[in-house]
Structure 1
Amino acid sequence: MKSFLYTLFLFCLIYANAYSQNKSNLKIKGKIVDASNNLPVEFAAVALTDQLTNKVVNGTVTGTTGDFEVTVPTTGTFMLSVDFIGYQKAVVKDIVLNTTGKDLQTIQLTPSVNVLNEVTVVGKKAIVENKIDKIVYNAANDITSQGGVALDVLRKVPQVSVDIDGNVELQGNPNVRFLINGKPSTIFGNSLTDALASIPASQIQTIEVLTSPGARYDAQGTGGIINIVLKENHLQGMNGTISLTAGTRLENGSVNLNFRKNNFGINTFVSGNKQLSSRTPSSQNRFSKGDTEQTTQLLQKGYQDFQRSGYQSGIGFDWSPTKKDNLIGSIGYTDFGSESRGTTQLNESVFNTNGSLLSSENILRNATSKGSVGALEWSLSYSKKLRNDGQELNVLYSSSFGKPQNNYSQTQQYLAENIPYSGSSGHTPGNNKQTNLSIDYSHPLTTDLTLETGVKTVLQDINSQADVLVFSPSLNQYTADSSQSYLLNYSMKIYAGYLSGTFSLFHYLNVKTGLRFEHTDVTIDFPNTSIPSYNNLVPSIVLSHNFKGDQYIKLAFTRRIERADYREINPFMNLSDPYNITTGNPLLKPEIGNNIELGYNKPFKNGGSLYIALIERINTNDIKPYTTFYPEYVIGDSTYQNVSITKRQNIGIEYNSGISISGQLPLTTQLSVRGNAIVTQKRVVNTLLSNQVANGVNYRLNLNVIYQLPWDLVMEGFGNFSSAINTIQGKRPQQLTYNLAIRKQFHHKNASFGLTATNPFTRYIRQVTTVVTENYVSTTIVQVPYRSFGISLTYKFGKLEFKKDKEPKNNFLQNAPSTDN
């Protein structure tokens, strides 16, 4: 308490003197870090005292990077003191200023362990932070999302949209590069939706969104990068968190444990979740024409029972043997999977050119499909701070080994028959190995110019086996089909290097520009398939200017690559629905994206903010799912009738022009609103159909309202709407979802209890999808069971609890010199 009163008194002195300062070119700057872990200390009070008169002449507080800058009104000898709750006071004496300022470099604050064992400082940052290079969503501070999974958190992130099937888009582009703690992961390789649904929201610290990544980042992902940062703790002592959720549709739980002694820390976690089995009714009505001009109508009506489950565990450490060296390592295991079982009744009718019925058949199909992956991942990173401030070397090694597998089986029989007339099953086990090695180096040449350079190697090897069985009616059993069974080896090697620079032009314009080179080798031992190696030059540039009050405007350009992943290349035929077959395309070329963004950010003194961006995205060799209808299609020794084959193709060029607006506004001390809107004009030139053009305007809106009641009670409502989207072959459905939540914090805010409801007034969300080709029209209706109710409990334990408080709103902070660059 004494430390708190002293800090409060010091702040008041800084405020009292802030108005009496004359302009001066003399400045003292430096950086405040925690002596135990070398991390920056935010909001530390910095006071400058005239050493002769012992009078405080100016002061400030540190920014998010720990940096500060104090203007000195006159020459002389000064003393600088730094103080923050939970740390011992630091004093630098005999600072002599004559004609120039002084850079004090780094000042270390030593934690006051005895005080911290008795004092709990509770607070939080703003949930959304708009930075020049990225958007940061502080998921750990979004207490009403803690009972869900990563997909639920992503729905609230500005410029990100997630449909009810779990497909993620960034600024309307589905080609997003996902990272976990800044590193790629093999768990995203088998099913991105399943992987994101296996990460409990309670495990997520922040989600970082980079729409215009710099040269340092991998060029993969024309939409940009989304980095999921899992929770860690760098505080002295032992503490942890337990989170449990039970509901009508989703159950999950997680445990986090953290221990730190001086410069060594260990963190470990285990989490698991389960999406309970739910029934999804669906129907399809399609008309097709063959060479005889006869029309075939296929009516399918049935249901699928779907469920998903998964768990994760891991342990990591970080060790700083010296103040300039840091070593971080981790190892983790992830296992998740999904299963679908269903029954479908079919009616296939054939009509002549006059519309008269020629034949009609009633069919019953039973089908199951399963997918799963188990992955072991490990990483080791080393960082070295060199002689000069900002001069740093980073080395990262990460590797993973996964075992994905997919299975399906289906039988079809006439309703009047007891034995199926056709059927098949497929089993595709495999191995996925990936290794990443990168070296990055940054070097400040001057105070205004910093260079970064680095190299990286990515090695990925996938072995996949396809075992296909076909049902023989004469034998009434399944027999192996050697023509559809195969062993496939896939290898991708990427070698990259980059050079980037950050500098200032005319003390007005901040520039960050760079060039990345990537060489890609892909081999696949599929018959008659050869993929030539290719090179890509990937430029990027961000121009920005800061205005008073942390406003900024930026203009960014970046080029990105979308390499087809293994799922899109693998030619395995999924015959779980023999009328609608999906497969991969080993001849896919990489998609190239050129992205331009003009953005303006305006923060407000009450904690609100507004970000507006004009967006232009141009993708060449654009990769899209493409459906082709065949009256007859031969697969191995079997011939299938009236079949649609869907696989991804390089369809041409896509132009996306739009505007994105996001903001947060505290209407009162209890009521706050966050919203995000994006409107895009999509134009696709389809070179597969003689440059046929598809146009459409798409928009997405979401709104989040939070009301803080007395007694640490919080209420929240969240709604999300996406318009129908025109595609090159039809239309994707519109979507409307909404969530209601209430959460009570207790036990000094170390525990919370919550109730959530998702679409409580509608059991299903009706999804209508159309596909239109030259000889094929299909309308599919899916009733997605989305209504759910749940309860959640979170408990934080341990002798030490220390969180950064929200930025104080005292007037002296609003008038102190800005320290945030």
Structure 2
Amino acid sequence: MRRLFVLVFLFVTTLSINAQTPNAGKGKIAGKVIDAVTRQPVDYATVSVFKQGGTSPFNGISTDPKGNFTLDNIAPGDYRLTIDFLGYKKHVIEHVIVATGGNVTLGNIALESIQNQLAGVTITAKAPVIENRIDKMVYNAANDLTAQSGAAIDVLKKVPQVTVDIDGNVELQGNGNIRFLINGKPSSIFGASLADALQAIPGSQIKSIEVITSPGAKYDAAGTGGIINIILKDSKVQGINGSINLTGGTRQENGSFNLNARKGNFGVNAFFSGNAQLNTTVLSTNNRNTSGPGDSTTHLFQKGSAATKRSGYQSGLSLNWDITPKDALTASVGFDHFGNHSNGLTNQQESITNGAGDLVSDIISLRNSDSRFSAYSTDYSLDYKKTFAKEGRELDILFTSSYSKNTVNYFQRQDYETPGMISTGIRGFNPGNDRETNISVDYTHPITKTFTIEGGAKLVIEDLKNVTNTDTLLADGSYMNNADQTYGFNYKRNIYAAYLSTSASLFKKFLDVKLGLRNEYTTTNANFPGVVIPGYNTLAPSAVISHKIGGTQSIKFSYSYRIERPDYGEVNPFYNISDPHNISTGNPNLKPEISNSFELGYNKSFDGGANIYIGSFYRHNSEDIQQFTTQYDTLSINGKTYSNVLLSQRANLGTQASLGGNVFASVPVTSKLNLRTNIFLVSRTNDAPGVGKVTAFQYRLNLNASYQFPSNFLAEAFGNYNSSSRTLQGNRPQFFWYNIAVRKQFLDKKASIGLVANNAFSKYINQSSTTSGPGFSQASLRQLPLRSFGITLSYKFGKLEFSKNKDKEGREDNGGQMPAEPLGGK
């Protein structure tokens, strides 16, 4: 409560200071930008303000979705305004006179569209790499050179407030419970293996990544860390156009193809992308000491290597039909596949000494392991959107369905050098499938120009099925089915949701407020002996309060209530025995994690293009879900006994309180050199009854530098450091990653060739970690070969045609991509 009081106090104090800032004598310029023919509003048009005779704008703003703009805090004087938007002629208004304390209302400003076809168009204007909006932060990957050669997991390393460890585990503001979306919609591709799914999406296929740390009532309440929405490339520009991107490298290869066609009120978008991680061998060592009966000590030493390769592809087709100027229908289908194959050899030595230090036994063995995982998924969606005569009134009906089929094959065998010991081993075949259907209805109704009500309902149906078939190695070398470890596990979950939210401008637009309340009722059925999961209701409030200071600054305070439902993998009681000394299993009795989150953020733009964002947050989780490891001298699993075992399992372990901050800055040092940096830090305190209280500090630093040389030659470098941090039972290792890229554009910027290097000066990244608990301590070292070199090729083709109807055309930001429209009931 003290931390909450400090946050609120800072927010209120800032508002009071700014409210008292003397603005006497300064005025405003307001207006609305519309299409000259259709009279429809033009959103995202750029309004720039120049002093008469000046060549550089000193102020500016983008129009809102209704085409409106307001420039505040304008000193008395004579100004020139320009209004720009792709596909329209630039509109210039000379001699806009602002008197002392006066407000200038320009009314409707009509833009004339460009009516001729453009056989070859070079678009030089582009969105900034980082955009800080009122409800989200947007990372425009399409405008980042070094982001194009890797996969989605590499792109996420560059996104503010996001941290990614060496294994592909993603955290948002230090929290790993994140809801991932693709184009604003859920996909079963994330349910099977998040790390593999993110490795299978090429960076060249990603238009932008939206980070939503305090989702409103319109979004699902799931994900205590927030929402990450991956927007894939598409286009709503008239005509036929497309792009091809290829990357070849020593460690990773990917490619993508996009084709867009639109004529009149009908458009088609199609894409195919593929990604492959070449065979990568990871070296590992593990030292463990455990206490046994009679003051005995067991020492286990493991040293081995594992070769892993990944591959995947994505494809999709979407159809857009503007039935009438106020009725639009969008249908899409996507097919995805990803998988991995890993095999390795591990040398093991297990020795036992008594209390006097005498050697009691010494067992030497060789473990041979192999695992294969594959997932196929299909996503369908149908979206109907209707607008009404009253501006801002809208109805959105969305249906999505996702189906995935997953298969896991694994094998492990241990051969002993000790005389008289026979080989042991198991193999398994685990097919499963996952189907998720979402149906949502959202309605927006503006009561006045400054007060709007939104409401909607949603149904989520999840059905997961898994079969575990396990065979045990016999003394004669053959395998026999183990009935005790062969079973089926079906898991069904339904979520019934409804929400209501309001947004308003108060005190003569001094404050913008959005309040919301979402209710979700969850029922779960798992047909496994002894597993009963009761239904529960979730009432999730949310609030955002923001204040604009002139036209260049804003401050925001937000609150959200979120939950984290245990997913299928966390509750599945299947035992993973690929390493008999390190076994993991699910926990069917997990309860939902509950989170209360508060945020305070400040954003300022400077003349010349610089931008800074400073934010802080406090989050309190109860029924906190954490990984916990327990040591067993012997562990019996379905009729078979294993010795010297560490069993890892997720559990609800008390509470977690996190207090952190984020600083982002983008500075154009010169017209050629641009620097971006992001600093994230968080202090977490876990209080787990029976385990203890642990406070950990973690930080992340990164720096991006780009330089524009003559002749369309661009160079860019990026470095990222994640610090180590304590956990309940040990520590997570630090991580440093960097890359360098250069690109040359030619053929009127329609084609480019580039070179990229990742971790060029170190063959391995060393990852040292420790784990300890009652009766055991363990130290591990993993060496991952992340050094790679590659070449990238890209080509844009086609004809762009701009129509008079602004609602039927798009905006190209360095790749022909539209800003994603929000989808209902996320």
Compute the TM-score of the two structures, normalised by the length of structure 2.
0.88
SS of 1:568's equivalent in the other structure is helix
Q: CA deviation at 1:466?
A: 0.3
- Residue-by-residue CA offset, 1:430-473 (whole Å, 9 max, x unaligned): 11110000101111111111111110111000110000011111
> Are the structure 2 counterparts of residues 737 and 453 from structure 1 closer, same or farther at C-alpha, using a change threshold of 3 Å?
same
The structure 1 residue matched to 2:469, chosen from 463, 467, 470, is 467
> Are the structure 2 counterparts of residues 83 and 168 from structure 1 closer, same or farther at C-alpha, using a change threshold of 3 Å?
closer
* Alignment-mate amino acid for residue 317 of structure 2: I
Aligned twin of 1:734: 734
Aligned twin of 2:578: 576
> Are the structure 2 counterparts of residues 31 and 414 from structure 1 closer, same or farther at C-alpha, using a change threshold of 3 Å?
same
Aligned twin of 1:753: 753
SS of 1:596's equivalent in the other structure is strand
Q: CA deviation at 1:44?
A: 6.9
* Alignment-mate amino acid for residue 325 of structure 2: K
- Residue-by-residue CA offset, 1:210-264 (whole Å, 9 max, x unaligned): 0111010011110000100111111111111000001010001110000000111
Q: CA deviation at 1:119?
A: 4.9
**Matches for 1:256-655 after TM superposition, within 5 Å:** 256-415=258-417, 421-473=423-475, 475-507=476-508, 508-655=510-657
- Residue-by-residue CA offset, 1:657-712 (whole Å, 9 max, x unaligned): 112111111111111111111111111001242xx101121111111111111111
Number of equivalent positions: 759
SS of 1:214's equivalent in the other structure is coil
Aligned twin of 1:42: 45
Counterpart Cα distance in 1 of 2:782 and 2:337: 28
Conserved? CA contact 2:61–2:551, under 8 Å: no
SS of 1:194's equivalent in the other structure is helix
* Alignment-mate amino acid for residue 788 of structure 1: S
Q: CA deviation at 1:193?
A: 0.7
The structure 1 residue matched to 2:32, chosen from 19, 29, 38, is 29
Q: CA deviation at 1:65?
A: 3.8
Of 118-127 and 672-681, the range deviating more from structure 2: 118-127
* Alignment-mate amino acid for residue 702 of structure 2: N
- Residue-by-residue CA offset, 1:402-428 (whole Å, 9 max, x unaligned): 101212110001125799521001111
Conserved? CA contact 1:46–1:60, under 8 Å: yes
SS of 2:576's equivalent in the other structure is coil
Conserved? CA contact 2:118–2:799, under 8 Å: no
> Are the structure 2 counterparts of residues 87 and 147 from structure 1 closer, same or farther at C-alpha, using a change threshold of 3 Å?
same
Aligned twin of 2:53: none
Aligned twin of 1:77: none
Conserved? CA contact 2:32–2:41, under 8 Å: no
Aligned twin of 1:54: none
Aligned twin of 1:743: 743
Aligned twin of 2:774: 774
Counterpart Cα distance in 2 of 1:766 and 1:70: 53
Counterpart Cα distance in 2 of 1:768 and 1:284: 10
Q: CA deviation at 1:614?
A: 1.4
Counterpart Cα distance in 2 of 1:592 and 1:125: 36
Conserved? CA contact 1:32–1:62, under 8 Å: no
- Residue-by-residue CA offset, 1:184-205 (whole Å, 9 max, x unaligned): 1100001101101111111111
Counterpart Cα distance in 1 of 2:755 and 2:30: 52
> Are the structure 2 counterparts of residues 34 and 719 from structure 1 closer, same or farther at C-alpha, using a change threshold of 3 Å?
farther
Counterpart Cα distance in 2 of 1:657 and 1:397: 38
Counterpart Cα distance in 2 of 1:140 and 1:36: 32
> Are the structure 2 counterparts of residues 356 and 260 from structure 1 closer, same or farther at C-alpha, using a change threshold of 3 Å?
same
**Matches for 1:12-23 after TM superposition, within 5 Å:** none
> Are the structure 2 counterparts of residues 35 and 744 from structure 1 closer, same or farther at C-alpha, using a change threshold of 3 Å?
farther
SS of 1:234's equivalent in the other structure is coil
Q: CA deviation at 1:780?
A: 1.0
- Residue-by-residue CA offset, 1:641-671 (whole Å, 9 max, x unaligned): 0111101111110111112111111111111
Counterpart Cα distance in 2 of 1:683 and 1:333: 42
Counterpart Cα distance in 1 of 2:597 and 2:626: 18
Which runs of no fewer than 5 residues in structure 1 stay unpaired? 1-21, 48-58, 74-79, 93-98, 808-821
* Alignment-mate amino acid for residue 469 of structure 2: D
> Are the structure 2 counterparts of residues 372 and 709 from structure 1 closer, same or farther at C-alpha, using a change threshold of 3 Å?
same
Which runs of no fewer than 5 residues in structure 2 stay unpaired? 1-24, 51-58, 75-80, 94-101, 803-809, 815-826
**Matches for 1:216-235 after TM superposition, within 5 Å:** 216-235=218-237
Conserved? CA contact 1:34–1:40, under 8 Å: no
Q: RMSD of the alignment, in Å?
A: 2.8
Counterpart Cα distance in 2 of 1:660 and 1:101: 37
Counterpart Cα distance in 2 of 1:32 and 1:673: 37
> Are the structure 2 counterparts of residues 716 and 586 from structure 1 closer, same or farther at C-alpha, using a change threshold of 3 Å?
same
* Alignment-mate amino acid for residue 484 of structure 1: Q
Conserved? CA contact 2:770–2:778, under 8 Å: yes
* Alignment-mate amino acid for residue 216 of structure 2: G
Aligned twin of 1:790: 790
Q: CA deviation at 1:564?
A: 0.8
Q: CA deviation at 1:100?
A: 12
* Alignment-mate amino acid for residue 42 of structure 1: A
Conserved? CA contact 1:35–1:109, under 8 Å: no
* Alignment-mate amino acid for residue 754 of structure 1: G
Counterpart Cα distance in 2 of 1:171 and 1:119: 40
Aligned twin of 1:96: none
Counterpart Cα distance in 2 of 1:645 and 1:129: 44
- Residue-by-residue CA offset, 1:19-45 (whole Å, 9 max, x unaligned): xxx988996535459969987352379
SS of 2:579's equivalent in the other structure is coil
Counterpart Cα distance in 2 of 1:633 and 1:806: 58
Q: CA deviation at 1:792?
A: 0.7
> Are the structure 2 counterparts of residues 792 and 70 from structure 1 closer, same or farther at C-alpha, using a change threshold of 3 Å?
closer
> Are the structure 2 counterparts of residues 708 and 291 from structure 1 closer, same or farther at C-alpha, using a change threshold of 3 Å?
same
* Alignment-mate amino acid for residue 532 of structure 1: P
Conserved? CA contact 1:493–1:522, under 8 Å: yes
Q: CA deviation at 1:116?
A: 3.2
> Are the structure 2 counterparts of residues 317 and 782 from structure 1 closer, same or farther at C-alpha, using a change threshold of 3 Å?
same
> Are the structure 2 counterparts of residues 715 and 137 from structure 1 closer, same or farther at C-alpha, using a change threshold of 3 Å?
same
Q: CA deviation at 1:81?
A: 12
Conserved? CA contact 1:419–1:476, under 8 Å: no
> Are the structure 2 counterparts of residues 83 and 215 from structure 1 closer, same or farther at C-alpha, using a change threshold of 3 Å?
closer
SS of 1:399's equivalent in the other structure is strand
SS of 2:46's equivalent in the other structure is coil
> Are the structure 2 counterparts of residues 275 and 28 from structure 1 closer, same or farther at C-alpha, using a change threshold of 3 Å?
closer
The structure 2 residue matched to 1:173, chosen from 166, 169, 175, is 175
Aligned twin of 2:54: none
SS of 2:483's equivalent in the other structure is coil
Counterpart Cα distance in 1 of 2:779 and 2:367: 19
* Alignment-mate amino acid for residue 323 of structure 1: P
* Alignment-mate amino acid for residue 40 of structure 1: D
SS of 2:154's equivalent in the other structure is helix
* Alignment-mate amino acid for residue 620 of structure 2: I
Q: CA deviation at 1:476?
A: 2.1
Counterpart Cα distance in 1 of 2:695 and 2:47: 53
* Alignment-mate amino acid for residue 488 of structure 2: L
Counterpart Cα distance in 2 of 1:137 and 1:533: 38
Conserved? CA contact 2:34–2:41, under 8 Å: no
Compute the TM-score of the two structures, normalised by the length of structure 1.
0.88
Q: CA deviation at 1:61?
A: 7.7
Counterpart Cα distance in 2 of 1:103 and 1:442: 28
Conserved? CA contact 1:173–1:222, under 8 Å: yes
Conserved? CA contact 2:33–2:45, under 8 Å: no
- Residue-by-residue CA offset, 1:123-158 (whole Å, 9 max, x unaligned): 211110111110011111112321111111111111
SS of 2:217's equivalent in the other structure is coil
Conserved? CA contact 2:47–2:82, under 8 Å: no
